[in-house]
Structure formats: structure tokens, C-alpha cells
Chains A and B, each alone.
Chain A
Amino acid sequence: MLVIFLGLLFAALTMSTFATVSAGPAHADEVGTDEYEFVLTGNVQFDQKPLDNVLITVEGGGYEASVETDAEGKWKVGVPEKATYTVSLDEETLPKGVVVAKGGNVIEAEFALTKVKSVNFFLGEGTRTTVSFFDQFVNRFVNGLNFGLLLALAAIGLSLIFGTTGLSNFAHAEMITFGALMALLFSVTLGVPIWLAIIIAVVLSAGLGWSLDAVIWKPLRRKGVGLIPLMIVSIGLSLALRYVFQIFVGGGTSQLPGSGLADMKLGPIRLSMIDLASMGISIVVLLAVSYFLLRTRIGKATRAVSDNPSLASASGIDVDGVIRIVWVVGGALAGLSGILWAYFRPGVSWDMGFQILLLVFAAVTLGGLGTAFGALIGSIIVGLFVELSTLWLPSDLKYVGALVVLILVLLLRPQGILGRKERIG
């Protein structure tokens, strides 16, 4: 069955590439201009001569569209919001001997007062330096590692909460967003230095975790509400919180300070200071969490509650206290992961947590529900997979690969990589 499904998928992929080749640019120069009132437009010319069939991709705020230039070298893309969009020109589609001369083939376009924004690329003569497959692979690998590490921060919290309370917490997405929003509030709006803003944001996220437990989850546990109703409550909470965020910050994307830092070159790898710092922070925090879980009394108590709450309670462990600590730690980790995710995307928006929630769930399930170190391994696999898959898949399908892997793993090893068989019953 699965083989047939994959076969169909590949057949469809090859068919569609064939179709795009043969279809030709009939009205390819305008996309979405009827539907949306804001328009990005441009004119691709080299040496006063228009270039046709050049592929332009517009991406931002969850919207993505591509267009090919027409015979006059013109293109137009309608966009839903007056936000910042990334416009990229596919250099592969330029004629031989023509490259983007300066400014790079990716431009950040922001609307001014008008509804139309023109975006133009500076083309020049020259030869493209193509990046070898190996270099691309290494680059993607490092990016994937970075993404996986920040996913791991959120995933470990989710997994600890699942382990100790049995709750599949869909509102974890909003705990991720909350961290980034608080960092934005303190650093940009209130002008606090970014390192302090991050610390404040993480502390506030821990506070959010604590208060969610105190106000909602603890009373519901006392009431004896079952696990599935609890999960549905978390879905309702996630929906409500997400739109509360949107009411406060609007639908746009804002940047945290320092997110535009230039890339440095370390051999084939291109990374910014922020990426390095992000990976460093993730690794240090993950080591600290491991130490906490493996060596401290409370960490051991947490794992005991995860294994068997009644037995833990009978051996004198304060189960409610452990759960409270897990929520605080989970909240802080989710908030930190949100800040790093805001630098990785880059940008802070109201639904940024929800965009990676499924990947976090995939990571937790891959590793084995309820196992903290499984979540770590699962996250790194998901992160690597998402980034490496863009070597072969179009970038708007990069999450699909990770989700397909999730389904495949459940087929072959339902308990996850580190999970034990009894958990799945």
C-alpha cells in the first residue's frame, strides 16, 4: 500500500515537472493579482533587453507564490498583506553568462505607502559560481542541526509534560510564540539590550508555564478529567491564545535585533554569529537539562513520575510538585526555543509556534512519546531531514518529508526510537 502511495507521489512529481516544462508561460507573468490588492512587481532586463521565463519567487507571512517573467521581462505577484516579503530570483533560469551582479538574488521587499512595490534585480555579465553538491550538503546539514537543536528545546518540554501528566499539549505552540513575543516586546518596544530581553522572556515563559498549570491543568487534574478531553481543552486553549497574540501584535512579521547579521564563511559553511550563538545556547541548555534529569533529586523524581505516577507517589515523591516544576521547565524551554526559532526563520509572528508544532510533535513521536532523550534524538532527525530534503524537494515541500517520515516510523517502530513497547498499548 505504502509503496503504491510513494510510487504515486513520484509519478505525480515527474508528471508535474513535465507539465511545467510543456505548459509554457501563457499568463505566467501575473499571479494572485485578482485575489489580493497588494502587488509586488518588477522588470527583469539585462543590457536594455528584457529577459523572459526568469523564475521569481515571493515568500513571506506564510504566503508563497512564483511567477515567470513575460516577453517584456515583466512580472507581477499579488500578496495578501502589506508585510515584508522575500523576493528571490532563480539564477538557474537566467540566460548563460548573466548573473545577479550586486545585492544578491534575494531581496527583502517592504511596502511603503502605496499598494504596489517594485522590486528589481541588478543583473550583470559574469559566470555563476555554482556551489558543489557536497558544499550544499554540508551547509544544509549544519542548518539542519541548528534547527533540530532548537526544536529539541521545545520537544523535551512537551515530552516531559506528556510523560508526567499524559497530556498531549497542543498549546505548546503558543508557549513557543510567547517567548519570541516577549523578547520582541522587551528588546524592540522597550529598548532593553537583547541579552537581558532574552533572559526576561525566558523567565516570563517559565511563569506562563507555571500559571497555565496552576490556573487550568491542575484544577482539571483534580476534577479527574480524562486525557482526551484534556487534549481537546489544550486545542481550544491553543486556538484562543493564538488569536489573542494576533490581536496584540497583528498579522505582520517583526525582526528581533541582530537578525540581519551577515553570514561568515567557514570553509563551505555559511553561518552568522547568531546561528553559532543559537547552536551554542541550545547545546548548553540541553546539557543542563540532561544533568538535571540524570543527576539531581528532582530530575530523578521527574523520571520516576514519568515511569509510574502512583508508584512515585507511594515512595514519597510530591507528584504535584514535580508536575509544577516540569511545567515551569517546559515553559522556559519552549520560550527559549521560540526566541531561537525567531532568529532562524527569521522574524516574530503570531503563529510562528503553530508553524513548527507538528514538527515538534513529529520529533517527540519519533523519539518515543514521553522519553526526554528520545525527543532530543527525534528533533535532530527531524531538523536534519527538513533541511536536507530541500536538496531534492522544492523548498515549499520541506515539511512534508518530515511528516512522511513520522508516518513511516510509526509503521515500522510504533514505540519510537527510544520508546518502550509497553507504552503504545
Chain B
Amino acid sequence: MIDWGAIFSNAAVELISPTTAAYALAALGLAIHFGYTGLLNFGQAGFMALGAYGFAISTLSFGFPVWGAVLVGIGASVIFALILGIPTLRLRADYLAIVTIAAAEIVRLLFTTNTFQSFTGSANGLSGYKGGFAGLNPIPEGRYGFGPFEYNEYDWWLRIVAWSIVALACLFTWQIMRSPWGRVIKGIREDEDAVRALGKNVYSYKMQSLILGGAFGTIAGMIFVLPRAVVPSNYQTSLTFFIYAILLLGGASTILGPVIGSMVFWVLLSFFSGFIARAVEAGWIPFITSIQAGQLRFILVGVAIMLIVIFRPQGIFGNKKELAFVK
């Protein structure tokens, strides 16, 4: 028989998990790129990888404190954004898409190769960089919480920090998009030439947007690796596609869309995988194995991306007038 309680509580846990927070923050960064500025960045996985590795390598190889490691990651992502932006921001949108996707793969391959194994751990990745972050934890040892939400002090500390960062990032994005800067950014999305005619330096604004959203992705990459280890195969292009699915689900040019999108995405995905896995065990679906059941989730994400874009391009919260892709 199917244990519905376990399926629901496993799904509920995803609601506040640090992974959900990391995806929400990465999607918020992408909202700045794609939703507000109209930049097709397909390299968000690269920014996240730089955050994860920047944090882990500077902690492990150079013994940096937490704040230093965070700054190294952000610094790396700013340089990455400049390298991406300089050749492509003057070009048409699909060039940026191809270059960003290529650049993210370059980053992943450089982290995977055996050449830099002493720093990156090549295909095995890195672990053991969490000491500094755990050391800042003010919560006394023990287990807290209720029901499915019962964690030890490190897990709570991680959740509190992760969601506070998400909240601050949302607040910041909301304020900045109401500011004159944000109006120029949205103007670029609507009609680049009109903004240029007003004497604004479109190229520079786009670059600032790329750096800001990339920095969000980088911090998301750090949150992403705090509950797990750094493994290079996590940063494949499908990571970027998952974040796009979240962004499109919530609404591309909204503040809360990415956050709610991430929660809905992970809760539904966990519920779906849990249900299929147990249904297979219970023999309800005789023609697939449990390994195949695990692959169904990717098919679901793929189909969901297609359906949302075709039938509800503005997402859950979006306004149809504020679409990044009117053209």
C-alpha cells in the first residue's frame, strides 16, 4: 500500500529547503536578466558553479574566512559577466544565448578536468568547506521543529540564512526595479532603440543587469552547496533549464514569481517523484522500473516548460503586458 503520509511530508520539506531557496535566488537573478532586461542568459549554471567553486576553493586551498570566500565567488562572477557581456551584449538576443550556454559549459569543463585536480577535485568535486559557515551558527546544539520540519542546529541555521538572503534579494530587486535605473532596464526590454534615443547607454545598463543577476546566481550557487558537496556534474546545462522552468512558472518579470515558482516546482516535483516511486514499488505501474521512474521527472519538467510558454507565457503571477518576449 502507498504511504501517503511520507509522500506528503517529503514534499512539504521541500517548501523551505535550502535547495529551494538556492533555486529561487538563481531564478530571481535570471528574472533580472531575462524578465526585466530581456537578456537571454542560458549560463546561470556557470554563475552558480563559480559561486560554489569560488567559495569552496578559496576556503579549502587558501584558508579564506567565510566573508572572504563569498567575496571571491562574487568577484569571479563579475569577471565572468564582463567576459560574457563584452562580446555579446551588442548582438542579437540569440547570440547571447549561445555564448552564455557555451561559457557555462567551459566553466564546468574547466572544473571537471583532471588538469586542475589539486584545486577542483576534478570529477569527484570538493567537500569539507562548511566549517567556517557552521562556526558562525549562534543556535545551540539540538533538534528543533515539529512534524516533518525537524532539523538539527546546522540545518536550521542554513535555512534561516538562505531564506533571509532570498528575502533581502527580493526586497532589493523590488526597490531597484521601481527606481529610475529599473525603469531604464524595463525600457531596454520593451524597446532598446527608444531608450538609446533618450541618450541612455544601453550597453552599460545591460552589463550592469548581467552583473547583478549573475551575482544573485553566484550567491545561489553558494547556498546550493552548503547542504551537499560540490560536484561538477550538478552544473550541466539542465540546471539552467530547471531554473528557467521555475522562472517561467512563477512569472518572468515578477519579484515573488521566482520564489513561489521554486516552492511550487520543488514541492510538485518531490510529490510526483515520491508518488511514482512508491506506485512502482506497489506494482501500480507494472511497465516501468524505479530507475525509469526517476527519469520521468525530467520529462515532466520538459513538457511543463513547453506548455507554460505556449499557454501561459506570463506564468502564475505575471502580467501579460509585461512579457519579456513580445517580439
Q: Is the CB of A243 within 8 A of B91?
A: no
Interface status of B284 (Cβ within 8 A of chain A): no
List chain A residues, Cβ under 8 A from B93: 228
Q: A2-B83, A226-B325, A400-B110 are in contact. Are A242 and B305 (CB under 8 A)?
A: no
List chain B residues, Cβ under 8 A from A250: 291
Contact mask A231-261 → B, CB, 8 Å, 1/0? Answer: 1110111111111101100100000000000
Q: Interface segment, B115-123, B130-138, B157-165, B213-221?
A: B115-123
Q: Is the CB of B117 within 8 A of A233?
A: no
A122 to chain B, nearest CB (A): 25
Q: Which of B82, B87, B117 contacts A407 (CB 8 A)?
A: B87
A20 to chain B, nearest CB (A): 6
Interface status of B234 (Cβ within 8 A of chain A): no
Q: Which of B102, B113, B295, B305 contacts A232 (CB 8 A)?
A: B305
Interface status of A284 (Cβ within 8 A of chain B): no
Interface status of B167 (Cβ within 8 A of chain A): no
Q: Is the CB of B102 within 8 A of A228?
A: no
B54 to chain A, nearest CB (A): 14
Interface status of B298 (Cβ within 8 A of chain A): yes
Q: How far is the CA of A410 from the CA of B88 in the complex (A)?
A: 7
List chain A residues, Cβ under 8 A from B292: 247
Count the A-B residue pairs with Cβ separation under 8 angstroms: how many?
Answer: 172
List chain B residues, Cβ under 8 A from A414: 87, 90-91, 95
Interface status of A5 (Cβ within 8 A of chain B): yes
B156 to chain A, nearest CB (A): 28
Q: Is the CB of A365 within 8 A of B95?
A: yes
Interface status of A212 (Cβ within 8 A of chain B): no
Count residues on chain B whose CB falls below 8 Å from chain A CBs: 59
Q: How far is the CA of A1 from the CA of B80 in the complex (A)?
A: 11
CB-nearest residue of chain B to A237 = B306
Q: A20-B117, A232-B244, A396-B112 are in contact. Are A240 and B95 (CB under 8 A)?
A: no
Interface status of A97 (Cβ within 8 A of chain B): no
Interface status of A267 (Cβ within 8 A of chain B): no
Count residues on chain A whose CB falls below 8 Å from chain B CBs: 62
Interface status of B283 (Cβ within 8 A of chain A): no
Q: Is the CB of B124 within 8 A of A16?
A: no
List chain B residues, Cβ under 8 A from A227: 94, 325, 327
Q: How far is the CA of A35 from the CA of B109 in the complex (A)?
A: 20
List chain B residues, Cβ under 8 A from A231: 40, 94, 97
Q: How far is the CA of A423 from the CA of B94 in the complex (A)?
A: 11
Which residues between 68 and 85 of chain A lie within 8 Å of chain B, taking CB atoms? none
Q: Is the CB of A361 within 8 A of B302?
A: no
B166 to chain A, nearest CB (A): 24
Interface status of B241 (Cβ within 8 A of chain A): yes
Q: Which of A168, A226, A358, A396 contacts B114 (CB 8 A)?
A: A396
List chain B residues, Cβ under 8 A from A5: 79, 83
Q: How far is the CA of A410 from the CA of B99 in the complex (A)?
A: 9
Q: Is the CB of B109 within 8 A of A424?
A: no
Q: Is the CB of B325 within 8 A of A229?
A: yes
Q: How far is the CA of A5 from the CA of B84 in the complex (A)?
A: 11
Interface status of A220 (Cβ within 8 A of chain B): yes
Q: Is the CB of A1 within 8 A of B83?
A: yes
Q: Which of A66, A226, A240 contacts B326 (CB 8 A)?
A: A226
Which residues between 198 and 249 of chain B lie within 8 Å of chain A, taking CB atoms? 238, 241, 244-245, 248
Q: A64-B123, A410-B91 are in contact. Are A240 and B302 (CB under 8 A)?
A: yes
Q: Is the CB of A400 within 8 A of B305?
A: no
B33 to chain A, nearest CB (A): 13
Q: Is the CB of B302 within 8 A of A23?
A: no
Q: Is the CB of B327 within 8 A of A16?
A: no
Q: How far is the CA of A237 from the CA of B307 in the complex (A)?
A: 10
Q: Is the CB of B325 within 8 A of A358?
A: no
Which residues between 287 and 327 of chain B lie within 8 Å of chain A, taking CB atoms? 288, 291-292, 295-296, 298-299, 301-306, 309-310, 313, 324-327
Q: Is the CB of A228 within 8 A of B298?
A: no
Q: Is the CB of A241 within 8 A of B302?
A: yes
Could you pull out 18 A-B pairs where Cβ atoms are within 8 angstroms?
A2-B83, A32-B124, A64-B123, A168-B94, A168-B98, A225-B309, A226-B325, A227-B94, A231-B40, A232-B305, A233-B305, A240-B302, A243-B296, A247-B288, A362-B98, A400-B110, A404-B106, A414-B91
Chain A residues proximal to chain B, CB less than 8 Å: 1-2, 5, 12-13, 16-17, 19-20, 23, 31-32, 35, 57, 63-66, 168, 220, 223, 225-229, 231-233, 235-244, 246-247, 250, 358, 361-362, 365, 369, 394, 396-397, 399-400, 403-404, 406-407, 410-411, 414, 423-425
Known A23-B118, A239-B302, A406-B102; 9 more pairs at CB < 8 Å: A16-B116, A229-B313, A239-B299, A243-B302, A361-B98, A403-B106, A410-B87, A410-B95, A424-B92
